[in-house]
């Protein structure tokens, strides 16, 4: 019995090493990429319902990697987006080695542990969901767990959160209250962010020309989901999109 106990404890130590181990860097992947595309696995949305109810996390994320994505984003909220932490595990088991963004509405440290355990590289923190102190606390904890932070902002009032020096600064072009999308948000707010911030434009991007224009405005990451997921072959659609850049 004692030998089995030692074996179990040794395995648990390896699991904890994995929890705290350095993950693939989303920040570095975007800085080094020629495209900067964060391809998103998104099965459902509150505004449009099911986008791809039968979308499989053991095939689509890997097809994104093969199609040239710089990184991936996987929705893990179950109630409104049809996601789960298991989707990231399935993507990793399928062979995905790219950085994966754990995309959810993170409000508690427990979600950060969940993100680290399922194989994410970074987590999304949304300024609209958190006080500045809450955001600072979660950002610090994420870093302790070896996770990077993409801090999402939507308007001028939230730009003060950039003072917390997240790994990446995101501008969400979609209003989370009305779900109205306007890419002009990114162009307008980019120049108000810190000069050295790694900027990510999120939502509403459906044209390669828009990506090129956003890159000229200083963005290095472009989170795109529905444009790919609504098609029969998301990975091929991504590859065709990249070919046009």
Extents of the domains making up the chain: 24-243
Candidate list 45, 52, 104, 152, residue with the active-site label: 152
Q: Indicate which residue of 23, 42, 52, 90 is catalytic.
A: 42
Please tell me the predicted confidence (pLDDT) of residue 52: 93
pLDDT at 19 over 90: no
**Which residue among the candidates 73, 173, 203, 226 is catalytic per the annotation?**
203
Whether 163 is a known active-site residue: answer no
Q: What is the mean predicted confidence (pLDDT) over 39-58?
A: 93
Please tell me which residue in 45, 63, 104, 172 is annotated as part of the active site: 172
Catalytic status, residue 40 = yes
Fold for 24-243, please state it: TIM Barrel (3.20.20)
- Tell which residue, 94, 112, 96, has the closest CA to residue 104: 112
Confidence of residue 179 (pLDDT cuts 50, 70, 90): confident
pLDDT in tens, 208-232: 999 999 999 999 999 999 999 999 9
Task: Answer yes or no: 33 catalytic.
Answer: no
From the list 228, 213, 162, the residue with the least C-alpha distance to 192 is: 162
Residue 178: pLDDT band with limits 50, 70, 90? low
Does the pLDDT at position 22 exceed 80?
no
Residue pair 158/151 in contact (Cβ under 8 Å)? The answer is no
Mean pLDDT throughout 171-185?
82
How many other CB atoms are there within 10 angstroms of residue 130's CB atom? 19
Residue 21 has pLDDT above 90, yes or no: no
Among residues 52, 103, 173, 199, the one annotated as catalytic is: 103
Residue with tokens 């789960």: 84
| Residues in CB range of 22: below 8 A, 6 or more apart | 146
Catalytic one of 23, 40, 45, 73: 40
The percentage of residues in the chain with a pLDDT greater than 90, rounded to a whole number, is 84
Burial code of 189-221, b = ≥16 C-beta within 10 A, e = fewer? Answer: bbeebeeebbbbbbbbbeebebbeebbeebbbb
CA-CA-CA-CA torsion for 198, 204, 210, 211, nearest 10 degrees? 40
Q: So what's the pLDDT on residue 1?
A: 58
Catalytic residue status for 42: yes
Q: What is the mean pLDDT of residues 166-192?
A: 87
Q: Is the pLDDT of residue 26 over 70?
A: yes
The answer to whether residue 175 is catalytic is no
pLDDT at 166: 98
CA-based end-to-end distance of the chain: 61
């Amino acid at each position: 019995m004692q030998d089995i106990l030692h074996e179990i404890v040794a395995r648990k130590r390896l699991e904890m090493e994995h929890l705290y181990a350095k993950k693939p860097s989303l920040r570095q992947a975007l800085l080094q990429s020629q495209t900067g595309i964060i391809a998103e696995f998104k099965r459902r949305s509150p505004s449009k319902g099911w986008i791809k109810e039968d979308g499989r996390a053991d095939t689509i994320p890997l097809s994104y990697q093969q199609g040239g994505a710089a990184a991936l984003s996987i929705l893990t909220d179950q109630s409104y987006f049809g996601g789960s932490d298991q989707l990231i595990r399935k993507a990793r088991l399928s062979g995905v080695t790219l950085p994966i963004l754990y995309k959810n509405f993170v409000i508690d440290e427990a979600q950060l542990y969940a993100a680290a355990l399922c194989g994410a590289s970074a987590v999304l923190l949304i300024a609209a969901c958190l006080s500045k102190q809450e955001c600072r606390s979660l950002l610090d904890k994420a870093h302790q767990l070896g996770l990077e932070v993409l801090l999402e902002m939507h308007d001028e009032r939230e730009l003060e959160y950039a003072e917390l020096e997240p790994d990446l600064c995101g501008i969400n072009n979609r209003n989370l209250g009305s779900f109205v999308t306007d890419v002009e948000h990114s162009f307008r707010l980019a120049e108000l962010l810190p000069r050295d911030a790694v900027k990510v434009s999120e939502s509403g991007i459906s044209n390669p020309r828009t990506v090129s224009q956003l890159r000229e405005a200083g963005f290095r990451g472009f989170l795109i989901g529905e444009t790919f997921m609504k098609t029969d072959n998301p990975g091929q659609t991504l590859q065709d999109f990249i070919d046009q850049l």
